[in-house]
Amino acid sequence: MSVKTITKQNFNIEVLESEKPVLLDFWATWCGPCRMIAPVVEEIAAERSDIVVGKVNVDEQPELAQKFQIMSIPTLIVIKNGKITAQKVGVQPKAVIQAMIG
C-alpha cells in the first residue's frame, strides 16, 4: 500500500474508523530527521498490507498536531481501534517501528 496524506478532513475515516492499525508519521518539509525516516516509513507501507500508513504535515495540519500534542518531529504514533497504542519521537530504526505496530 502507499502512504496516505492525512488531513483534518479525512482523519476520522482514514484513522479513527480504520479496521487496521494506523501508523501516523508527523513531519514537515523543513525537518532533516523527517526526511531521513521517510524512506523507512514508505518501505513499511509497501511491505505491510495489514496496516494503514499515513503522513501528517504539521505545517499544513496544525489542528492535528495540536490534538496529538506534537512538540518534536518526526513523531510516530500507532493507533488501533481509535486509541493510541504506541508513540516514539525522533528517527527510529525500522525494527523499532515494526515492533511499535506489532
Which active-site residues does the annotation give?
Answer: 31, 34
Short-list 17, 33, 46, CA closest to 25 = 33
For residue 22, the one-letter residue type is: V
Q: Using an 8 Å Cβ cutoff, are 57 and 7 in contact? A: no
